[in-house]
Structure 1
Amino acid sequence: MGSSPLDNRPLDIDGERTIGQLVADASREMSTLVRSEIALAKAEVTGGLKIGGKGAGLLGGAAFMGLLGVIFLLHTLAQVLDIWLPASAAYAIVTVLLFLVAAVLGLLGKKALSQAKPKPEKAIAEAGKTIAAVKSAA
């Protein structure tokens, strides 16, 4: 390792670093540690949000394309039912079917979004280890 500005500091009478220097170094190292823990937490949250955003976008695109196809399918189904039932009854049956499918798709989408993990679990664990180490050293 190369020399650091800390190596050029004056030493106390015994050739050791002073308490003030040690406290300043500890403070600086703690600050660096906290910044790195925050960076880790940000990285974890960003990764989780990207996965959730991608899932939501894919669900939205699939829903739109499915809707276009379903419109024609359901209109065809209503026309077929119109052969045996009045048109209003045929369209009522198709409407109920639409709401049932929408409920199932909504539940599946909610489940997919709940699997995204934006919680910074690694950062929390590392912070806990750091706190434990600091407490045990004190």
Structure 2
Amino acid sequence: MSVTEQQPQPTDEPTIGRLVADASRDISSLVQAEIQLAKSELRVSAKAAGLGTGLLAASAFLGLLIIVLGSIAAAYFLTMTGLHPAWCFLIVTGFYLVLMLLLVFIGIRKLKKIKAPEKTIATAKEIPAALKGQTRPTR
């Protein structure tokens, strides 16, 4: 063989196009695997959440029954003071009315304290510039 008849030697170094294709394939596989993992974890969490919600609902119902029966018992205990049963039930109802008004007042005060997440909004506005490689000015 002469020098002009040399066969091109295969190189072990991949081309940039092949590297990009491999990288995008690997990223796609990674994303798909992460999605499958998230679905699997969410399935288990959803079953636990459903069971937990059912148990909490049952306990809330029983709690409501306890409040009703306790209220009736409290009213009948008040009858032992000699008051007419109607007045005793009205006193218990008044107690619940005052308790409800107190909870409404406290709840409204708490709701008025709600503010927007200002720091998060400010940093989120900086993300597009950071993705473009720009840095924010130091303050």
Higher relative contact order (CA 8 A, sep 6+): 1
Q: TM-score, normalised by structure 1?
A: 0.46
